[in-house]
Amino acid sequence: MLTSTSIELPPLRDLEAFLPAPDLTVEIHLVIDLSDRRLYVYNQDQLDTSFPIAIGREGWETPIGTHRVMQMQQDPAWQHPFTNQIVPPGEGNPLGSRWIGFWTDGTNAIGLHGTPTEDSIGQAASHGCVRMFNHDVIALYDRVTIGTPVVVVP
């Protein structure tokens, strides 16, 4: 027997209200190096740790530039960008156990997330998002907040 489940996704608009004022001292900031396929975590100007990542594949490149964390969600649902089908949290969800969004065009979002396909880590394999091992994105999630700077370099 099939039943219908409604899952409400958080809105992607009006995010500037949650960003910190530009004059605040930044402690943690992230650098995503697409050529290294690594995410670097800095505390002030000191490298704290780094993680291997998967990046956007050809035609779906991860957006280069300076961004900020705009969304954070534990056990996220995922909505397919073309079919609008919703995949609930849990096994098989392409976002894994955490979502850290840092870019949006108002309709679609790109961010850091876990993955059920861990063999894609180190590859250009995504639709623009930055995939991480689930245990790595859980560790990262506890270190960032809304407004954390995210710099993506080629």
Residue 80 lies in a domain: yes
Residue 104 lies in a domain: yes
Rounded Cα distance between 22 and 9, Å, is 28
pLDDT at 94: 81
Residue 103 lies in a domain: yes
User: Which residues span the domain enclosing 59?
Assistant: 26-153
Residue 9 lies in a domain: no
Question: Average of pLDDT values for 63-73?
Answer: 96
Q: What is the value of pTM for the model shown? A: 0.80
Give the chain's domain count: 1
Can you list the positions of beta strands (E) in 3-85? 28-33, 38-43, 46-52, 55-56, 65-68, 71-74, 78-79
Between 11 and 84, the higher pLDDT residue = 84
Confidence class for position 69, pLDDT limits 50, 70, 90: very high
Residue 67 lies in a domain: yes
Which residue has 């180190």 as its token pair? 122
Residue 148 lies in a domain: yes
CATH number at residue 145: 2.40.440.10
For the cut 60, the answer to whether the pLDDT of residue 134 exceeds it is yes
Number of Cβ atoms within 10 Å of the Cβ of 16:
8
Q: Which long-range contacts (CB under 8 A, 24 or more apart) does 75-79 make?
A: 76/113, 77/7, 77/9, 79/9
Residue 21 lies in a domain: no
Residue 100 lies in a domain: yes
For the cut 50, the answer to whether the pLDDT of residue 39 exceeds it is yes
Q: Give 73-83 pLDDT, tens digit per residue.
A: 999 988 877 78
Q: Give 11-34 pLDDT, tens digit per residue.
A: 544 445 445 555 555 699 999 999
